[in-house]
Amino acid sequence: MSGRHDQSRYAFLRDNDYRELVVPLVRRPAPTFALRGDLGLTIARVDPARDPAMVIPTAKRVRPDGAAAAAGLVVGDQIVRVDSHLPTAKSPSSAR
């Protein structure tokens, strides 16, 4: 990892195939509905009865004009790593 803050490196599973991509983080005026740092990606909600350590966050929605779509993420991709972090169901980004 380069340590740069203008991109994020995602590792994900698509059809049981491990892939990696870089999502560029571009500073631009955000629409009023977008949150700061919005990548245009929504993670599917997780059943609270499931063990969070056993859940792989899955892309529920990918906004066509967002950075995630531009980098190649699609609905159904399972996020297995973001930069050097392993995402879990307890991660703040999975609360949406």
Question: For residue 31, is it within any domain?
Answer: no
Question: For residue 43, is it within any domain?
Answer: yes
| Helix or strand holding residue 71 (H, E) | helix 67-71
Question: For residue 23, is it within any domain?
Answer: no
- Which residues in the chain land under pLDDT 70? 1-5, 25-37, 88-96
Measured distance CA(42)–CA(96) in Å, rounded: 7
How many domains is the chain partitioned into structurally?
A: 1
Sheet of 17-24, strand order: 17-24, 7-14, 78-82
Residue pLDDT, tens place only, 53-73: 777 888 999 999 888 888 888
pLDDT reported for residue 15: 87
C-beta of residue 83 within 8 angstroms of C-beta of residue 9: yes
Question: For residue 80, is it within any domain?
Answer: yes
Question: For residue 72, is it within any domain?
Answer: yes
Q: Which domain holds residue 67?
A: 38-96
Phi, then psi, of 94 in degrees rounded to 5? -90, 0
Question: For residue 22, is it within any domain?
Answer: no
pTM of the model: 0.60
